[in-house]
Amino acid sequence: MKVVLSGMRPTGRMHVGHLKGVLENWVKLQENYKCYFEVADWHALTDEPTRNREVLRNTLDMVKDWLAVGIDPKKSVIFRQSLVPQHAEIHLIFSMLVSVNRLLRNPTFKEKVSELRKKKSEIKLSLNLENLSVEGEVGGIVEFIKGEDKEKGEKFLRGVIGRIKEEVLERLSFLDFDDSLIPSEISYGFLGYPVLQAADILIYKGELVPVGEDQLPHLELSREIARDFNRIYGEVFPIPEPLLTEIPKILGIDGRKMSKSYNNAIFISDTPEEITQKVKKSITDPMKIRKGDPGRPEICPIFYLHKAFNPDESYEIEENCRKGVLGCVDCKNRIAGKLISALEPYREKAGELSDDLIMDVIREGSKVARERAEETVEEVRRVLWSGS
Ligand code: SF4
């Protein structure tokens, strides 16, 4: 059987985006491949080193959901990265094979740098504009407007300031990437995380890696490292291939990407009451105020949930939303019912799994992973030092 490697950072309870985007795929893969599913706990520290305090609890919650949806420890190796220290040795050796420039071109790294730069610029802009509003020319305008209609004047000015700020930030985020402007929060570990990822895959001689279209550049680096290692030291590693996976779009109830950190997620283990409440609270198309108003399903999180959990009716829902025949309350009630019945069996199963049982599964899987990883490390040491 071909070897498949995939993993996740320990983020705690899994939400319906994880279920549709990753876990359902893993459940299928384990029937036809030798799967290694990794709890990537070292990765969790690369952008936030103090996250160590949350890792154990998050790992237990996450793996509980993995098992609840059908990942089977008898078929797949479920392991914790930090319990297989061999990853660190391979990561170190691989780090000699990658240039800093190559890592600076990694799209995730660039995104993170832009995000931090944007955040910092935002703080500076707010401060400067605050100053402007109390003294100087803008301050004068405020005083004038205040005299006419204080509330209206302030609102107007804040609106103008807000628009200037948005415009400036937008432009800043598109500025050419300049590595001399890398924020100090970016660690050496974060820059090198794709090298650790390559070690995660190649240490098990992973041949296939399930990825979405946008993750292809990450896998490309692992492929380059495998090729370079084999060329310089000797054939050890297969060149991993992508197993392209379609990742359905699922939005959080506030319309942003679904994420625990945004507090907008519907979790696999949510109770029927929690699901109903969250669906009720979810935003929809803000232009659709009454049932008769035509809606835009493409901007509505509820519609994406229908597509994922109620595919048979999603065409009709799309049509009727556009025509203004369907109201948001009915539409939400329908998806809440579907979600409750789809998630109920997982919630029940998760309730039967104790922390001790999850710990045993992780310990056992990590032992199997360690043995396999050690075999690869021995091979690597042999070819690496064969001439010395
Ligand atoms: S009818 Fe449904 S899909 Fe359309 S905007 Fe309302 S909740 Fe969204």
Say whether both 223 and 342 belong to one domain: no
> In this structure, is residue 236 part of a structural domain?
yes
255 C-alpha vs ligand 1 centroid, how far in Å? 13
> In this structure, is residue 235 part of a structural domain?
yes
162 C-alpha vs ligand 1 centroid, how far in Å? 30
Q: Report how far residue 372's alpha carbon sits from residue 86's, in angstroms, rounded to the nearest whole number.
A: 10
Q: Is the dihedral of CA 195, 56, 84, 213 positive or negative?
A: negative
Q: Give the model confidence (pLDDT) of 43-93 as tens digits.
A: 999 988 898 999 999 999 999 999 999 999 999 999 999 999 999 999 999
Domain boundary among 136, 155, 181: 181
Q: Give the model confidence (pLDDT) of 10-42 as tens digits.
A: 999 999 999 999 999 999 999 999 999 999 999
Q: Report how far residue 352's alpha carbon sits from residue 45's, in angstroms, rounded to the nearest whole number.
A: 30
Q: Give the model confidence (pLDDT) of 103-148 as tens digits.
A: 988 888 888 777 777 666 655 555 455 454 444 455 556 665 666 6
> In this structure, is residue 186 part of a structural domain?
no
> In this structure, is residue 378 part of a structural domain?
yes
Q: Whose CA is nearest to atom 4 of ligand 1?
A: 321
19 C-alpha vs ligand 1 centroid, how far in Å? 22
175 C-alpha vs ligand 1 centroid, how far in Å? 37
Q: Report how far residue 242's alpha carbon sits from residue 220's, in angstroms, rounded to the nearest whole number.
A: 9
Q: Give the model confidence (pLDDT) of 304-320 as tens digits.
A: 999 999 999 999 999 99
Atom of ligand 1 nearest to the CA of 326: 1
**pTM to 2 decimals?**
0.83
Atom of ligand 1 nearest to the CA of 303: 3
Say whether both 13 and 89 belong to one domain: yes
Q: Give the domain CATH number at 327.
A: 1.10.240.10
User: 318 is written with which tokens?
Assistant: 């799309």
Range of the domain at 144: 111-181
Q: Report how far residue 116's alpha carbon sits from residue 93's, in angstroms, rounded to the nearest whole number.
A: 30
Say whether both 89 and 211 belong to one domain: yes
> In this structure, is residue 103 part of a structural domain?
no
Q: Report how far residue 104's alpha carbon sits from residue 99's, in angstroms, rounded to the nearest whole number.
A: 9
Domain count, the chain: 3
Query: The tokens 């059987």 sit on which residue?
Result: 1
> In this structure, is residue 260 part of a structural domain?
no
Write the Ramachandran bin of 176: left for phi over 0, alpha for psi from -120 to 50, otherwise beta.
beta
327 C-alpha vs ligand 1 centroid, how far in Å? 7
Q: Report how far residue 21's alpha carbon sits from residue 132's, in angstroms, rounded to the nearest whole number.
A: 47
Q: Give the model confidence (pLDDT) of 140-189 as tens digits.
A: 566 656 666 666 666 666 766 776 766 666 666 555 555 556 777 788 99
Q: Report how far residue 129's alpha carbon sits from residue 27's, in angstroms, rounded to the nearest whole number.
A: 53
CA geometry: angle at 309 spanning 306 and 277, to 5°?
A: 75
Say whether both 171 and 220 belong to one domain: no
Please report, as a single letter, which amino acid is at residue 308: A
Residues lining ligand 1, Cβ inside 6 A: 284-285, 288, 295, 297, 300, 302-303, 321, 326, 328, 331-332
